Every structure is written in structure tokens, then in C-alpha cells.
Structure 1
Amino acid sequence: MINEFQQRNIGFRSLNDAIDTTTAQGRLIFNIFDSLAEFERDQIRERTKAGLSAARARGRMGGKPKGLSKAAMSKAHAAKALYDKKDKTGEEIGKVLGISRATVYRYIKEIEQQHRSENENNHQHKI
């Protein structure tokens, strides 16, 4: 923003800090702070990349685990069974299981995807 201000001949004067870009000394201080902040961002980025590479080398993978936990999987099967009976809405199933309506449908989708992939694997083995 400060660069845009300077291009439009607008000065910046901080009320809390000793920065005043309308003077040569203020511009120097501001540019030093800017360079230090950029340097720190680059350092953090490099450390993060190095840490992730080291973790990968040790066999650790970051990110959210794929699939559902055992507890969630049992709720997912229960949600699918209740859904297949067609006597409860997604919201009602969620209330019974203590999960949100969106989670009910996400669980149902997960179970259906598992069944599809199991069926595909069984079909491939028969060929």
C-alpha cells in the first residue's frame, strides 16, 4: 500500500511509530522494516519447506488422514442403514447419531464410494 501511496505522491505518517515517508529518514526506516519483514517471511518459508522435506524423508506424511476413523466409520454405517430404510430425513438421522445433517450425507457418500470401489475390485478379480 505504501508503494501505491508513493506513486500517487501521498505520504504516510504512523502515529504510533517513528515512521514518516514524507522524509528521507522515514523512507529509509520504512524500507529497512520492509526488508526485514520480507527476509523473515522468506526464512519461515525455507524452514517450513526444510521441515516438510525432513519429515517426508522419515516417512511422515502431512495433511489430513484419508478416510474415516473407526468411530466415524461405525456412525457412517449406521447413517447409511437408517438412510436406506427411507423413514428418516438426513436431519433426523443426524439428531439420532449426534452429527450434523451435512455429516450424515458425507458419511453416506463415503460408504457408497467404498461399496462402488469394492464392487469394481471384485469385478476385476473375476475377469
Structure 2
Amino acid sequence: MFVGYVRVSTHDQNPNLQLDALRTAGCKKIFMEKSSGAQRDRPELWAALDSLRAGDSLVVWKLDRLARSLKQLIETVELLESRGIGLCSLTEAIDTTTAGGKLIFHVFGALAEFERSIIRERTKAGLDAARAHGKKGGRPSALAAKDIAAAKAMLSDPDMTMEDVAKRLQVAPSTLYRHLPGGRGAIQETEPC
């Protein structure tokens, strides 16, 4: 059985082109979604996938209707394949129930892995170059040295809790604990007798 999936990104887009193509392809059931492809939670897609059984095929008008990225597309195809379900894309004329369709997806997968490797290499090279020029990556510290000194002074008062100090400094208690491991005990240990 062919089950169709239609997605339009906005409520203004007209799904009729996709619907007509899927009906012509022989889809008995069609699930329609109005949401961005970037959204991972697409209830109509999950409903379509739940309705499919081994031997069935999910049919889409175009691959970008099913997934926003190649990685997401490959994950979806692998899920379908693991359940014995095919994928047909009408515009690209891809059918994973055929040897040629499977080959195309393996090529897509290899390209996606190659792209991820290139991105990792470029990112690493960029970070190494930045470090060589004295740049430090990551988020700036939530507490400056003067804030930490103020926190230590406040914590010398036995009536002040870490939570009180964090509230005064307008940070989460976890931030204060990260900058002062050991909490009040660490402050008292470092102060002279």
C-alpha cells in the first residue's frame, strides 16, 4: 500500500500540487502537515509512519517535504528500512524498494558523512588558529573576579547562604558553586586563622 505525506511550511501555502501528485501515484491514505521542516515534532508524519506496515511505501512529492536536512532524511529512511518499508519521492524519481533507489541513498549517506567530516576538520582548524592567536573560546564567565571576591566576603557572614549570595549576584546557585567549589567550606579553609 502507498501512504502519502504532504507538508507545507506555512498556512498560506497550497498543498494541492502535492495532493494531486500523491493521488495520481496511487496513495490510498494521505497525511497532511502544516509546519516547518525544521521542526522535529511532526504529528502527521508520525501518524503516517505508524500506519505503515512491512511491504508498504511512504510516498512524498519531493524529498525536502519529508526532511529539512540530509542527516534527518537518512535517519528517516533508515527507520523505514528497518521496518521493511520503502520510500518513494515522485519529483526525484527515487524508490528505495529498488536496487537503484537504495544505491542513491547510500551515495547520499556517504556524501553526508563526508560533509560532516569536512565541517569537523574546518571547525577544529578554526579553533586551533584562534587559540594560536590567544583567543579563548566559549561563553564569558558569569562572574567576574570582583563578583567572586564579593561572594567570598558575603559568605564570611555565617547567616548568608550560598542561595542568598547567588540571588544578590543575580546568578543561579549552581553558577556560584561552580566558581567556589566546596561552597562556604572552601572559603573558610582559604582564609587565615
Q: Is the 8 A contact 1:80 1:107 kept in 2?
A: no
Cα distance, 1:103–1:32 mapped onto 2, change above 3 Å: closer
**Alpha-carbon distance between aligned partners in 1 of 2:104 and 2:178, rounded to the nearest angstrom:** 53
Aligned-partner SS, 1:86: coil
2:112 to 28, 34, 37: 37
2:154 to 82, 89, 112: 82
Q: Is the 8 A contact 2:95 2:101 kept in 1?
A: yes
Q: Output the amino acid matched with 1:60.
A: G
The answer for unaligned runs of 5 or more in structure 2 is 1-74
Q: Is the 8 A contact 2:155 2:161 kept in 1?
A: yes
**Alpha-carbon distance between aligned partners in 1 of 2:164 and 2:139, rounded to the nearest angstrom:** 28
Cα distance, 1:46–1:102 mapped onto 2, change above 3 Å: closer
1:37 Cα deviation from its structure 2 partner: 0.9
TM-score w.r.t. length of structure 2: 0.43
Cα distance, 1:16–1:55 mapped onto 2, change above 3 Å: farther
CA displacement 1:10-44 (0-9 Å, x = unmatched)? 24315687442211221122122112112211221
Q: Paired residues, what number?
A: 112
Alignment-derived partner of residue 124 in structure 1: none
Cα distance, 1:17–1:94 mapped onto 2, change above 3 Å: farther
Q: Is the 8 A contact 2:87 2:97 kept in 1?
A: yes
Higher relative CO (CA 8 A, sep ≥ 6), structure 1 or 2? 2
Stretch deviating more after TM superposition (10-19 or 89-98): 10-19
Q: Output the amino acid matched with 1:59.
A: H
Alignment-derived partner of residue 46 in structure 1: 121
Larger fraction in strand: 2
Q: Output the amino acid matched with 1:13.
A: L
Cα distance, 1:72–1:40 mapped onto 2, change above 3 Å: same
Matched-pair identity in %: 38
TM-score w.r.t. length of structure 1: 0.60
CA displacement 1:79-127 (0-9 Å, x = unmatched)? 11111110122222222232222233334338948x85xx9xxxxxxxx
Cα distance, 1:97–1:3 mapped onto 2, change above 3 Å: closer
Cα distance, 1:39–1:97 mapped onto 2, change above 3 Å: closer
**Alpha-carbon distance between aligned partners in 1 of 2:158 and 2:145, rounded to the nearest angstrom:** 20
